[in-house]
C-alpha cells in the first residue's frame, strides 16, 4: 500500500469515528468546497445555472447556483430538471444487468437471438457485452440523421459493416448502446420507456426522473444553452431514450449514485432484490483501455487516480478515436478502491457523475449549458479530493 492509499484509508477511518457534532457543520463546509470549484467554471464558460450533488458517507447534499432560464430569471432549485445526456446509458446498463440476473438475457447472447431480421448479419457476430462496452467493431458516434424509428434502426444494424473484429477496439457510440437497450426491453417483454418510468426509476426511488416529462413538471425543465448561448433543448430522435434521453434532478442523480455506492440501501420491497446485484454487476471490468477499465457503460480507474488519467479517459483520444481494447481474463470483479465515472452532454446541457465506493463519496454536476468536459472533470476531481482530505468534512 502506498502513502497516498494509506493516507486516504486513515482519513476514512477517522471519518467513521468522528463525533456526532461534526455533522452540524458538514454541509456548510462541503458547500464552501463546492462553491470554490464551481463558481470559476460558471464564470469562465458563462453557465447560467448548475446543480451540484454530493453524497458523502450516506448523506446527500445539493447546492444550486444561478438560473434555470436566462429569459425568466427562474433560479435553479431542488426541482430543476436537467438533461444528463450519455449518463442515461448507465441506466440502460442497469436494466440490462437486471435482465441478465433474472434470466431474461445473457451478455454472451447475440442480437439475432432477439431480432430475427438480424440473424446471420454482421451485427449477429457481436455479443451484448460488446454492445455495452463499445467494442462491437466500429459505429459512428451518432445514429444517422435519416433514421427516425426503431424499424429503420434495425435495418441499419442489419446492413452494418464493421471496421474491426469484435472486442479489439473501443469506439464510443450511441447506436450500439441503443441496440442493447432495445434488446434488454424486448427480453423483458415491455417497451423501454415504460420499463424505465414504470419500473426502474420507481425502484431506485427516483421520483423526478423522466424520459417523457409530464405536463405538470414542464415548468421545472431548465432551458439549455449551446456553447454560443443559443437556447436549445433535446429534440426527439431514434434510440434517444436508450442513450441520452433522461431528464432528472441533482437529488435523484444522488440517489442513483448512492445505490451504486451501496446497493443495500435500496428499498428491498420496491423491486426484485436482485436489482442491487444488477447495479453492482455494472461495475464489472471487461476491457482495459489505456488507464481506464471499461465496465458495462461505466468507466473505472484504480483509486487513488490522477487527474491526468481521468482527463485522458474522458477528454483525450479514448472517447473520440478508435482505441485498442485488451479483454480482461478473468474479468475484473466489482471493487471498492476505484473511481467510477461517466460524462454526459447534449447540445444545451452538460453533466458528469463520479463516485468512489471505498470512500462512500460521490458527485454529480448538472449544468444548463454545454461546456468542455475537462472543466467538469477537473472541478469534480478537485471537490472529491478536498472532501476526502478535509478534516472538517470527516
Instruction: Tell me the catalytic residues.
Output: 86, 172
Cis peptide before 330 (omega within 30 of 0): yes
Pairing of strands 224-225, 292-294: unpaired
Angle 178-183-186 (CA atoms, 0-180°, nearest 5)? 125
- Coil, strand or helix at 349: coil
| 8-state DSSP, 75 | B
Q: What are 110's three cell numbers? A: 447475440
How far, in Å, CA of 102 to CA of 136, rounded? Answer: 24
In angstroms, what CA-CA distances link 1 with 7, 9, 333? 10, 10, 20
Instruction: Scan for cell 434510440, then name that residue.
Output: 239
- Coil, strand or helix at 352: strand
For 100, phi then psi, to 5°, come to -70, -45
Pairing of strands 292-294, 350-356: unpaired
Query: For residue 132, which of 165, 158, 94 has the smallest C-alpha distance?
Result: 94
Query: For residue 379, which of 348, 346, 350 has the smallest C-alpha distance?
Result: 350
Amino acid at each position: 500500500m502506498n502513502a497516498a492509499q494509506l493516507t486516504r484509508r486513515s482519513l476514512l477511518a477517522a471519518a467513521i469515528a468522528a463525533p456526532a457534532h461534526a455533522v452540524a457543520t458538514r454541509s456548510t463546509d462541503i458547500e464552501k468546497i463546492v462553491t470554490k470549484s464551481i463558481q470559476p467554471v460558471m464564470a469562465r464558460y458563462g453557465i447560467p445555472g448548475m446543480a451540484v450533488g454530493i453524497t458523502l458517507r450516506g448523506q446527500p447534499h445539493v447546492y444550486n447556483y444561478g438560473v434555470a432560464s436566462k429569459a425568466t430569471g427562474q433560479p435553479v432549485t431542488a426541482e430543476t430538471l436537467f438533461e444528463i445526456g450519455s449518463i442515461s446509458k448507465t441506466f440502460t446498463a442497469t436494466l440490462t444487468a437486471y435482465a441478465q440476473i433474472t434470466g431474461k438475457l445473457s451478455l454472451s447472447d447475440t442480437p439475432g437471438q432477439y431480432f430475427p431480421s438480424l440473424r446471420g448479419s454482421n451485427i449477429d457476430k457481436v455479443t451484448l457485452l460488446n454492445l455495452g462496452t463499445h467494442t462491437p467493431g466500429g459505429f459512428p458516434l451518432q445514429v444517422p440523421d435519416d433514421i427516425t424509428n426503431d424499424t429503420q434502426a434495425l435495418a441499419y444494424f442489419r446492413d452494418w459493416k464493421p471496421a474491426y473484429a469484435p472486442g479489439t477496439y473501443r469506439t464510443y457510440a450511441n447506436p450500439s448502446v441503443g441496440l442493447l437497450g432495445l434488446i434488454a426491453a424486448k427480453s423483458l417483454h415491455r417497451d423501454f420507456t415504460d420499463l424505465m418510468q414504470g419500473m426502474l426509476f420507481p425502484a431506485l426511488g427516483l421520483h423526478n426522473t423522466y424520459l417523457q416529462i409530464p405536463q405538470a413538471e414542464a415548468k421545472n425543465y431548465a432551458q439549455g444553452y449551446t456553447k454560443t448561448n443559443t437556447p436549445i433543448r433535446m429534440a426527439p430522435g431514434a434510440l434517444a431514450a436508450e442513450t441520452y434521453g433522461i431528464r432528472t434532478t441533482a437529488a435523484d442523480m444522488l440517489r442513483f449514485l448512492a445505490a451504486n455506492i451501496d446497493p443495500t440501501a435500496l428499498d428491498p420491497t420496491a423491486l426484485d432484490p436482485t436489482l442491487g446485484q444488477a447495479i453492482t454487476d455494472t461495475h464489472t471490468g471487461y476491457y482495459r483501455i489505456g488507464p481506464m477499465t471499461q465496465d458495462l457503460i461505466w468507466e473505472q480507474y484504480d483509486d487513488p487516480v490522477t487527474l491526468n488519467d481521468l482527463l485522458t479517459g474522458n477528454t483525450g483520444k479514448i472517447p473520440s478515436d478508435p482505441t485498442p481494447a485488451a479483454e480482461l481474463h478473468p474479468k475484473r470483479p466489482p471493487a471498492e478502491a476505484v473511481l467510477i465515472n461517466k460524462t454526459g452532454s447534449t447540445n444545451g446541457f452538460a453533466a458528469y457523475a463520479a463516485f468512489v465506493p471505498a470512500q462512500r463519496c460521490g458527485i454529480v454536476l448538472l449544468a444548463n449549458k454545454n461546456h468542455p468536459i475537462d472543466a467538469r472533470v477537473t472541478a469534480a476531481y478537485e471537490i472529491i479530493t478536498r472532501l476526502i482530505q478535509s478534516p472538517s468534512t470527516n
